[in-house]
Amino acid sequence: MATTEIPVKPPIALVIGSGLTGPVIAMLLQKKGYTPIVFEKYTENADIGTTIALMPNGTKVLGVADPEMMKEVYERSRLISAIYELNATGDVLGGNDDMVNYHAKFGGHAFGWQRTNFRFTLVERLAKRGIEFREGWALEKVVESETGVTAYFNEGRTAVGDFVVGCDGANSVVRRTIIEDIRGAKNPHAMYSGTTHWAGFSPIPEGWADPSSFRHIFAKGSHVVCYPFTNFSRPGAPTEFSWGVTLRVPEPSKKNWRTYAPDESARLIAEQLLPTIANADFPPHIIRILRETTRLIKFGSYDLEEELKPAEWHSDRLVLMGDSAHPSGVSLGQGVNMSLGDCYGLYELLPDLTTGADLAAQLTRLNTTLPAIFQKYAEKRQPITVALVKGARAQSLVRTALDWEARDESLRTRWETGEAKRRMEEINSEPFPGAVPPESA
């Protein structure tokens, strides 16, 4: 009697979260022959957040994930060519105008996009590439076995796969499962870092349109960063400024952390923000930028009370990346870029199932080597992300320093000695050196 051979299927990866990291790791997994399914607890592409500053160490990963998408993104973006740090009187403390060459040197351009629009672009690419995307699926728990995983969602729904990638943010259910349920340890909570941020969009002041640059203005006990971006949410997609003010606030006030309507924005800036920074001595054009804002968001910075060890980034079939593994403050501008580095870090270690080799044999090996792959990934990424998270926390203190004269002199010295530029280039040399990933070299 003839027997029917059961076809061998590629492993299914359950990707939890579609903020920005989830869609990117899904595209990378598909590229290597895996079947990703992306789950998102929300049902709408909510208009949240301000902009994201994408740097070459992040955009080079996006270029690996989807070169066609990134060609279109670059064509639509206001690319950043320089970074400058200034004091409150407008004196330049230092800067780097070599960023115009960073695509050739590191494989990616720098630019800013509204977070909501960029997420929507990524989700659109999932559909174009045939990657399944399930909205309204809120993860409740995950159970792993020797042969796979079962994820339990709201409304009694379940999904079965071969492994789970947790991209579900600072309050990650996947992290809780790994640390509490599987390892029986204490799950570290996200902790307020001591800085609060006001952020918004404003028209670009006359004379600031070119060059397109990141501008950091350091004042007494406060700091403003601003850079141009194309606002696709507004009619005609005008080029605007994304700005952010960092303030040291000992106790968080979460009830006031949200997006404000335009009429509320003008009132809050006039009644709360401007009086708070009155003694910072920001120049008049910065005050004008704040007064003319078309959108306002208030939020606080968080990171974990205790950094995760590499072994806590994963179990046998569950693995973390992005804010699930290392929530970070915004003061280094590396949050999303760190997460994209995680995506590449896992991608480069997973076996390529598209080579034509015996798929059944490959899956058998993967079944036994997956924990070791996850551990190697975590051992490589954890020191990098720990340094960046600590750097973000330290930078928030620099931005809000009361001894501003000593702070400004220290910043000037870092540029004069080349230390600031070297550190920028070290960061952008990740997650692979040069402009071309090793597998393409």
Identify the pLDDT of residue 210. 64
Identify the pLDDT of residue 362. 93
Vertex 15: Cα angle to 14 and 16 (nearest 5): 110
Identify the pLDDT of residue 6. 57
Quick one: how far is CA 120 from the chain centroid? 15
Contact 10, 33 (CB under 8 A): yes
Phi-psi group of 90: left, alpha or beta (phi > 0 → left; psi -120 to 50 → alpha; rest → beta): left
Taking the chain (441 residues) in consecutive chunks of 10 residues, what is each chunk's mean pLDDT?
Answer: 62 96 98 98 77 96 97 94 94 95 96 92 97 97 96 98 96 96 91 91 76 92 92 78 92 84 91 93 91 92 90 98 94 94 98 92 94 98 96 92 94 98 96 83 45
Backbone torsions φ then ψ of 242, nearest 5 degrees? -95, 130
In the chain, domain spans: 12-191+303-440
Identify the pLDDT of residue 50. 85
Identify the pLDDT of residue 253. 78
SS (H, E, C) the chain: CCCCCCCCCCCEEEEECCCCHHHHHHHHHHHCCCEEEEEECCCCCCCCCCEEEECHHHHHHHHHHCHHHHHHHHHHCCEECEEEEEECCCCEEEEEHHHHHHHHHHCCCEEEEEHHHHHHHHHHHHHHCCCEEEECCCEEEEEECCCCEEEEEHHHCEEEECEEEECCCCCCHHHHHHHHHHCCCCCCCEEEEEEEEEEEEEECCCCCCCCCEEEEEEECCEEEEEEEEECCCCCCCCEEEEEEEEEECCCCCHHHCCEECHHHHHHHHHHHHHHHCHHHCCCHHHHHHHHCCCEEEEEEEEEECCCCCHHHHECCCEEECHHHCCCCCCCCCCHHHHHHHHHHHHHHHCCCCCCCCCHHHHHHHHHHHHHHHHHHHHHHHHHHHHHHHHHHHHHHHHHCCCCHHHHHHHHHHHHHCCHHHHHHHHHHCCCCCCCCCHHHC
Sheet holding 239-248, edge to edge: 92-96, 82-87, 213-219, 222-230, 239-248, 190-203, 295-304, 259-260
138's tokens: 């809120």
Vertex 328: Cα angle to 322 and 330 (nearest 5): 115
268's tokens: 């809050």
What are the CA-CA distances from residue 281 to residues 202, 214, 344, 398 (Å)?
A: 20, 20, 43, 17
- Tens digit of each residue's pLDDT (9 = 90 or more) over 254-285: 888 999 988 899 999 999 999 999 999 998 88
- Tens digit of each residue's pLDDT (9 = 90 or more) over 112-152: 999 999 999 999 999 999 999 999 999 999 999 999 999 99
Q: Which CATH architecture has domain 12-191+303-440?
A: 3-Layer(bba) Sandwich (3.50)
Contact 266, 295 (CB under 8 A): no
Measured from the Cβ of residue 305, the count of other Cβ atoms closer than 10 Å reads 11
436's tokens: 């071309």
Identify the pLDDT of residue 106. 96
Contact 112, 50 (CB under 8 A): no
- Cα dihedral 398, 399, 403, 408 sign: positive
Rounded-to-integer distance, Cα 381 and Cα 142, Å: 24
Identify the pLDDT of residue 3. 46
27's tokens: 């595209």
DSSP bridge partners of 89: none
